[in-house]
Structure formats: C-alpha cells, structure tokens
Structure 1
Amino acid sequence: MKKYSFLAAAMLFTTLAIGQVYQQEKPYIEVTGIAKMEVVPDQIYLRIMLKERNESRGKISIERLETDMKGALKRAGIDIKNLSLQDAESDLTKISRRKQDVLISKTYQLVVSDAKTVSSVVDELGKIEITDLNIVKVSHSLMETLRKDVRIQAMKAAKTKAEYLLDAIGEKAGAATMVVENSWMENMPQEQFRSKEANVMMSGSEANSEYELSFSKITLEARMQVRFAIEGK
C-alpha cells in the first residue's frame, strides 16, 4: 500500500513540476521572413577549345592558334591575365600512325564581365576560325556579400511581420528567442550558349554586324523562421 502511495505522490509531483514549467514559459509569436534578390552576373566563364587541324596548305599548329587567339582577345579589349590554361596536359588526337599527324588540342578558360564583352570575343575569335566556345558558368564578384545581405533582409522582414501582427492586438515584439534558416535558394542560371548552336558565329560582312546577347539574373532567396517574445505595450 505504501508503495502505491509513493508512486502516486511521485506522479503528482512530476505533473506539478511540468505544469510550473509551462506556466513560466513566456508567450511568443513565430513568423517566417522572406527576402529575394536578383543580380546580373558580372563573372562569365568561357571555355575556348583550340584544335590543330590539317589544311591544304599544311597543318595549323597549336602555337599559331594560341598566338592568333591572344591577338583576337586583345582586339576585343580583353586583359590576357583573365585567360588561363584549363587542362594540365594537352590532349593528343592520333589521326594516323605517323608521328607527324598527331594533332594537339588545348582548353582555355576566359573570365569576362558582361554580355557585350562576350559578343566581342565571339566576333574576334570567329574571324580567325576559332569556333569551339561555350559558357561554363556565371557568378558575381560580390557573391558572399550578397548572400549575407539577403539573409539580413529576411531577418528584418520577420521582425516587421511580427511587429505589425502584434500591434493589431495591442502587443509588441520582444527579443528573438529562436532563429532558424528555414530554406535557402540560390539559382545560378546555366546558360546554354554554344557559338554554333546559338548561331552567333558570323562570317564575312555578317561578322561586323551587331546582335544581342544577354544573361539570366542570379536569384538568391532566404527564408528565416524567427520566434519573438510577446511583450505588453
């Protein structure tokens, strides 16, 4: 009998303790703040493939192609320091068993800042018959700062939402007691640009004509779930 009495007393004490914890918990409001940002990319990564080829007048060497490419890029207003060799080793393509018929290819990466510059590069390289060109990716030089800013804006949006909701019932938002990054979206557009497919390589009189080339914006979106204590006015 004493055993059952002790168990009942323990259960009663536990219930009372839990009830006190619930009573001590301050009222709160939990909201989600959303912020979205769109920016035009200012880092466009191009991949340029150079391939030796045989013509009726002889083989066009990789050295000549590299020299011609750098000259074309300078005419397009490109700083050569933005050009780098992408592959550590050149690819060798054997077209016959004879050593002199081994063709070499090299892949370069070029970083430019806008669509107009891309157009100039495409034009100048097209004039020297370098057409294996495509966009690898786009980004922004201030990406880390932009990520920070959009999260801050989401936090501010959560605070604003809590304030006007509580103001409607005569209360005000207190300190934030919980912050959770509910979701994060970063949409880096994958531009499906290829010089031949996009029909931007031109020859003859067409090479000097103007054409439009634009890029999708980078989209950043943050959702912050924030809990604020409710305080009376």
Structure 2
Amino acid sequence: MKKLLTLAFVALFSLSALAQQVDLRKKISVSGSAETEVTPDIIYIAISLKEYLKDNNSKKKVEITTLENQLYSAIQKAGLDKESLTINNLSSYSWATEKKKNPDFLASKQYRLKVSDLNKFNDIIGAVDPKGVASTNIESYDYSKIESLKKELKIKALQAAKAKAAYLVEALGDKLGSVIDIQEVNNEQYPQPMYRNVMMMKAESADAMAGNTAEIDFKKIKLNYIMNTVFEIK
C-alpha cells in the first residue's frame, strides 16, 4: 500500500512540475529582413609571368627580370604600394637554379596583386609585355567594411520584425511585450566572379589576340539577413 501511495505521489509531483514548465503566455512569431549589395573593394589577383623567345630565337630571350620590372613600374604608376604585390609561392624562386643548369630554360614567376578596382588592374597589366603574361586569375575578394555592414543589417532586420509584430498585435487591441526568442538566418552570397581577359590566354597566342580588350563581369556581394522572433502579447 505504501508503495502505491509513493508511486502516486511521485506521479502527481511529476505532473505538477510539468504543468509549471508549460509556457501559457500569449505569443506572436514574426520575421524581419534587411538586405543590401556592395561592390568588392578588396580584390586579390594571381599573375603569372613567363620568359619567352622573340621570333623563336633562343638568343633573343625576354628575361623574367624585364617583365618583373615592367610590373613593378606599372604598380607604382597606378599609385599602389609595393606591398600590394607579393610572390605567390616559393617555387617562383627555383627558376634561378634551373637557369644555371639549362641556359635555354624559360623561367616563370607567380605573384599576388591586391587592388581595390579592377579597372586599375587593367591599367597595370596593360603596361606589361602581353607575351610575357602567362595568365591572370581572380583568387578572392571582399569588402573592407563588411563586419560593420553585417551588424547594421541585423539590427535593421530585428527592428523590422518588432515593428511588424507591434502593428499586428495592436490591430487586435493588444500590446506587444518583450522578446522571448531571436533566431538569425544568414543568406550571404559571394558569387564567383567571371573574369574573361585576353591575358588568361597562353603567351604564344598574344599576337592573335592583339587589339582585344578585357571583359569583366564582377558581381556584387549580396548580404541578406532574416531575424525570426517571438514576442509576448500583453
């Protein structure tokens, strides 16, 4: 008998505790959003320079140092710091050893250039001997004020959710209470840039491509935030 009473007490206590945990508050669930598009102002471009033979004559080689000096001069003329251009990988240094072993070896070097405007990059690469440019490629891009912009959009989305909840509740003659729950939905989009440039062709075909201009389709970064919220109804 005592065991039955104990079990009944435990069951009654459990039901009472469960009832206390049930949230009986009136609530409203709404979402708010905010979005914008920005043009990237931090762009990293890979550039590969390579020696070549003039008229296929081994005695008329355009040295890598000549191409490199052209690139550095163009960067300075564009008003960029020397730090904007860096060696992209350590293998670029191995050409010096190879040249000693084989005088006919055609050296190549890879660089990474940081620019804020692709038009400025076109001016820079246009000042380099096109036959010496093996390839160019956009590696990555970003926006310098991205973090502050994200914060601003999240706040706007949250404010939009609150405003929506307020007019819906007030339409029923009630008042909006404090927020109970907030959930963030991130819809950031960094589309892959489409960069079509004659410099991406092999250096050997430079003559055939002479006179063509670069075509750039650089899409903007789209930031979109949705705030799912739950408010109490007073």
Deviation at 1:76, TM superposition (A): 4.2
| Contact 1:73–1:124 (CA under 8 A) maintained in structure 2 | no
Q: How many residues align?
A: 226
Output the CA distance in 1 between the equivalents of 2:21 and 2:101: 87
| Contact 2:51–2:132 (CA under 8 A) maintained in structure 1 | no
SS in 2 for 1:90: helix
SS in 2 for 1:101: coil
1:187 to 170, 186, 189: 189
| Contact 2:45–2:138 (CA under 8 A) maintained in structure 1 | yes
Moved more, 76-85 or 32-41: 76-85
Deviation at 1:140, TM superposition (A): 0.7
| Contact 1:162–1:173 (CA under 8 A) maintained in structure 2 | yes
SS in 2 for 1:32: strand
1:157 aligns with 2:126: no
Normalised by the length of structure 1, the TM-score is: 0.80
| Contact 1:186–1:219 (CA under 8 A) maintained in structure 2 | yes
State the one-letter code of the partner of 2:145: L
1:59-208 equivalence runs, <5 A: 59-90=61-92, 92=94, 99-125=102-128, 129-130=132-133, 132-181=135-184, 183-196=185-198, 206=211
Who is 2:45 aligned against?
46
Output the CA distance in 1 between the equivalents of 2:149 and 2:6: 62
SS in 1 for 2:233: strand
Deviation at 1:79, TM superposition (A): 3.8
Who is 2:6 aligned against?
6
Output the CA distance in 1 between the equivalents of 2:125 and 2:105: 28
1:215 to 218, 222, 230: 218
State the one-letter code of the partner of 1:99: N
| Contact 1:35–1:223 (CA under 8 A) maintained in structure 2 | yes
Deviation at 1:214, TM superposition (A): 4.6
State the one-letter code of the partner of 1:217: K
| Contact 1:47–1:133 (CA under 8 A) maintained in structure 2 | yes
Output the CA distance in 2 between the equivalents of 1:217 and 1:69: 28
Deviation at 1:130, TM superposition (A): 2.7
SS in 2 for 1:63: helix
Deviation at 1:67, TM superposition (A): 0.6
SS in 2 for 1:187: coil
